[in-house]
Structure 1
Amino acid sequence: MTGDVWWEKDARAEGDLVPGPGPAGVQPELVEATREAVRSDVRGRIAGYTPDWTDPDRQDAGVALVRLFGTQAEPVLSRVNRLPEKVLAEHLATAGVRRRPASAAAALLEFTVNPPEGASVLVPAGFQSAASTPAGQIVYETDQDLYATPATLAALVVQEAGTLEDLPLGPAGPGRPFAPFGRDPEPGNGLWIGLAGTAAPYPRLSLGVVV
């Protein structure tokens, strides 16, 4: 597998870039890690290494070995293509940077009260919701009690240094990121939330914030 890879001594052009970790978001693809590429390379060497093999018929035992070799080499070459990721991790490790440990996925859910003129509804901790993915359903559980209110968000105002800034709202809330307590948070700053609805939130209001 050293025919046309970009990192050879006599390489003339850069290789392909594929998505990867790091600031650039890409990394070089060292080899074409597919079984068909391996089989093609082996077949290309038949004339030089086994000139007597002039009729590589599909039923030939040698062809079966070539196909088997391609299948076995594919996962090995896939690991080779992860070397840039490994090198990046090792460089970061020398600087004291470590990967964060695995943790459970989290999502922000929105609950709608029906009918809209009803009272707040308790959604207890452990309430399950499912999300559909190509691999199947993923089940989430709420990690604490929350109250879904029939009220809707009508106004958001940031109070900073004695001034009030009215934030524009869209169908899904604020139309842009904002600093909830001003650009320079200090005592006295605040975030005012205006709700509209026929019923007041009761007994308490649960808020979800995307950071």
Structure 2
Amino acid sequence: MEPIAVLAGTPVDTRMGVDVLSAAGLSGASFPISPDPREQTAFQISSPAEKRRTALDILDRAQAQGCRKAFVYCNSLSASVDFDALARETGMQIVTPLHVYRDLAPRYRSLAFIAANAQGLAGIERVLLDANPALDTLSAGALPVVLAIEAGLPPDELVERHHLAELCDWFADCGMEALVLGCTHFPYFKEALARRTSLPLIDPAAEMLELLRTP
């Protein structure tokens, strides 16, 4: 089976991406960008030239290992690197969460979204509003939640400690129709949070897989 390159911010979310592919019967090869979330945030605010060089080097290594497709399992990384341009340059099919959000936005009048950092929030907002300029949005950055996931804090304890149910209550009270889990770490606590909120939770992974299966 031809491997699919999995690019993500850290080894943890890269492994999560490989697991998503494996559960769908696909083979993934890991290519983390940074060793931890703080260094990944630093990478995302580095110069466009540096980010392009780093991503292109990884994609070149992936192609050398037989990968013709890439699965970018990181929202904030997707927002900070022009993967559409890199797809044209390398000839690879590169799927990111932002491709899903373009299709998602016209289905709603209002959406909340959370991400690892402001880089992710800005990228998601840009894509959503480009696809649906009339969309109302609310958002929050939550790097401490990512750090807690990387540290292995149990999902139920994480939801309680970081007041995620209360955050969902606020989003719902403000009229948001659903919450986008705008960081690929966040499905880690999706079930625990779903038990504590009636707000629909949106994970882009399933639709990303459908895009990968499209020639």
Q: TM-score, normalised by structure 2?
A: 0.22
Give the helix-richer structure, 1 or 2. Answer: 2
Which has the bigger relative contact order, CA under 8 A and spacing at least 6?
Answer: 2
Give the strand-richer structure, 1 or 2. Answer: 1
Q: TM-score, normalised by structure 1?
A: 0.23
Flag the structure with larger Rg: 1
